[in-house]
Amino acid sequence: MSSSSQFKQLEKLGNGTYATVYKGLNKTTGVYVALKEVKLDSEEGTPSTAIREISLMKELKHENIVRLYDVIHTENKLTLVFEFMDNDLKKYMDSRTVGNTPRGLELNLVKYFQWQLLQGLAFCHENKILHRDLKPQNLLINKKGQLKLGDFGLARAFGIPVNTFSSEVVTLWYRAPDVLMGSRTYSTSIDIWSCGCILAEMITGKPLFPGTNDEEQLKLIFDIMGTPNESLWPGVTKLPKYNPNIQQRASRDLRQVLQPHTKEPLDGNIMDFLHGLLQLNPDMRLSAKQALHHPWFAEYYHHAS
């Protein structure tokens, strides 16, 4: 355990759901860190969300996961000491906007980031951990172009996937249709859906399904991916928020949706890969490990674990 006197607090980096984040300096080593401060309510003690994040993060040591170095517990606050990352994927993509026109990333960079995202995610999933809130803001990038998963505030160790989880997870735009329809038996496949949404956004520079509420979010998904039915997705009609009166739609060609927003041609490999992530039926989505062995990543195979 370090003491807070070991760290010098520098500028504020932002406010999270339950914490304020500062850039900090380890005075002993001269290394920059990110200090995530959680204010403690004297009545309530340490928020369970923070305790959950700590116990998970300390176990997760992987080059594509933001490292939690230490935890400093004082009477009125809890400080999590993370490795410092220069940027996040959202800011990185925003910085490439020209005027008001969003621009996607070059496809070789998209692939490099997606590979790193899936490496970190496969490690989480092997350790029985769901991230549950993957979005560009939670994917941190350093000056070397390394991408790391951050903010496991909502993550929760899962054993058997029939755990009853709350449906209040994952920012709407990246939320899987099974979660939106009230499924509480979800597992690793919810993170895979989020990866698909992030991949499409890296290609075009804009979110694929930017809904403002659950209902609109599902409509946007079905407009492109088609309306699910029992033959494509057994059990879908029994989900709590399934709407039997929803207008039936056929799926659109995803390449035609994305291609106008990128100058580079989207080949069969990348489209097949994206379809593997964005399956409406959660059981049909690729696992993180399967995704890493997709032909789109052929040039990276020799690094695969």
Query: Which residues are known to be catalytic?
Result: 133
Give one DSSP letter per residue of the chain, joined into a string.
---GGGEEEEEEEEE-SS-EEEEEEETTT--EEEEEEEEPBTTTBS-HHHHHHHHHHHH---TTB--EEEEEE-SSEEEEEEE--SEEHHHHHHTT-BTTB-----HHHHHHHHHHHHHHHHHHHHTTEE-----GGGEEE-TT--EEE---TT-EE-SSTT----S--S-GGG--HHHHTT-----THHHHHHHHHHHHHHHHSS-S---SSHHHHHHHHHHHH----TTTSTTGGGSTT--TTSPP-PPP-HHHHHGGG-SS---HHHHHHHHHH--SSGGGSPPHHHHHTSGGGGGGGGG--
Q: Is 36 annotated as a binding residue?
A: yes
Q: Which residues are annotated as a binding site?
A: 36
Q: Which residues are annotated as a binding site for ATP?
A: 36
